[in-house]
Structure 1
Amino acid sequence: MLPDESRPPTDKEPRPDGGSGPRRCYRHREQETGIACSRCDRPICPRCMVNASVGFHCPECVGGDNRQVRQATTRFGGQLSTDGALVTKILIGINLVVFLLAAYVLTPWLSRDLSLYSIGPQLTGFPYGVAAGPDQWYRLLTATFLHVAPWHVGTNMVMLWVIGPSLEAALGRLRYLALYLLSGLAGSAFAFLVAGGFMNSLGASGAVFGLLGATVVMHKQSRAPLGPVIALLVFNLIVTFSVAGIDWRAHIGGLVAGTLTAAGLMYAPRERRATVQALTVAGVAGLVLAMVLIGTARYGG
Structure 2
Amino acid sequence: MEQAHLPGCYRHPGKETGIRCTRCERPICSDCMVNASVGFQCPECVRDGSGTGHSRTANQPRTIAGGRVTAGHPHLVTNVLIGLNLLVFLIGRLNPAVIDELVLIGFAFDPDLGRVVGVADGEWYRLVSSMFLHEEIWHVAGNMLLLWLLGGALEAELGRARYVTLYLLSGLAGSALTYLIAPENQGSLGASGAVYGLLGATVVLVRRLKRDMRPIMALVVLNLVITFARDGIAWEAHIGGLAAGLIIAYAMVNGPRERRALLQGAACALVLGLTLVTVVLRTAALT
Normalized against structure 2, the TM-score is what?
Answer: 0.77
Structure 1 position 252 matched with structure 2 position 247: no
Give the percent of matched residue pairs that are identical in Structure 1 and Structure 2: 48
How far is the alpha carbon of 1:65 from its aligned partner? 4.4
Partner SS for 2:92: helix
Query: 2-side partners of 1:111 and 1:69: how far apart?
Result: 47
Q: Tell me what 1:43 maps to.
A: none
The alpha-carbon distance between structure 1 residues 65 and 108, as it changes in their structure 2 partners (threshold 3 A), is: closer
Is the aligned partner of 1:132 residue 2:118? no
2:61 and 2:105 map into 1 onto residues whose CA distance is 44
Over 3 Å counting, the alpha-carbon distance change for 1:195 and 1:270 in structure 2 is: same
TM-superposed CA distance for 1:68, in Å, is: 8.5
Aligned positions, number:
232
| SS of aligned partner of 2:64 | coil
The one of 148, 163, 175 aligned to 1:176: 163
Matched-pair contact (CA < 8 Å) for 2:151–2:198: yes
Alpha-carbon distance between aligned partners in 2 of 1:91 and 1:264, rounded to the nearest angstrom: 23
> Is the 1:180–1:208 contact (alpha carbons within 8 Å) kept by the matching residues of 2?
yes
Q: Name the TM-score, length of structure 1 as normaliser.
A: 0.73
Whether the 8 Å contact between 1:179 and 1:261 is mirrored in structure 2 is yes
Amino acid at match of 1:234: V
The aligned counterpart of 2:24 is none
Do the aligned partners of residues 185 and 69 (structure 1) sit closer, same or farther apart at CA in structure 2, a change above 3 Å counting?
Answer: closer
Unpaired runs of 5+ residues, structure 2, are: 1-49, 110-114
Kindly indicate whether residue 104 of structure 2 is the aligned counterpart of residue 116 of structure 1.
yes
Q: Counterparts of 1:68 and 1:87 in 2: how far apart (Å)? A: 22
Shift of 1:70: 3.1
Residue 64 of structure 2 corresponds to 75
Match of 2:140 among 142, 147, 153: 153
Residue type matched to 2:82 in 1? I
Q: Cα offset for 1:62?
A: 7.5
Q: Secondary structure at the match of 1:84?
A: coil
- State yes or no: 1:165 paired with 2:142: no
Instruction: Please say if 1:186 is aligned against 2:173.
Output: yes
Partner residue in 1 for 2:78: 88
Structure 2: which amino acid aligns with 1:78?
G
SS state at 2:177 partner: helix
**Deviating 4+ runs (over 6 angstroms):** none
Larger Cα-atom Rg: 1
Contact kept? 1:120, 1:196, Cα under 8 Å = no
Deviations 1:254-278 (A, max 9, x none): 1111111111111132011111111
* CA deviation after TM superposition for structure 1 residue 197, in Å: 2.2
Please state whether the residue corresponding to 1:64 is helix, strand or coil: coil
Q: How far apart, in 1, do the equivalents of 2:125 and 2:235 lie?
A: 21
Deviation at 1:66, TM superposition (A): 4.1
* Structure 1 gap segments, 5+ residues each: 1-60
SS class of match (2:187)? strand
Give the RMSD, CA atoms, in angstroms. Answer: 1.9
Alpha carbons of structure 1 residues 62 and 221: separation in structure 2 relative to 1, 3 Å: closer
**Partner SS state of residue 201, structure 1:** coil
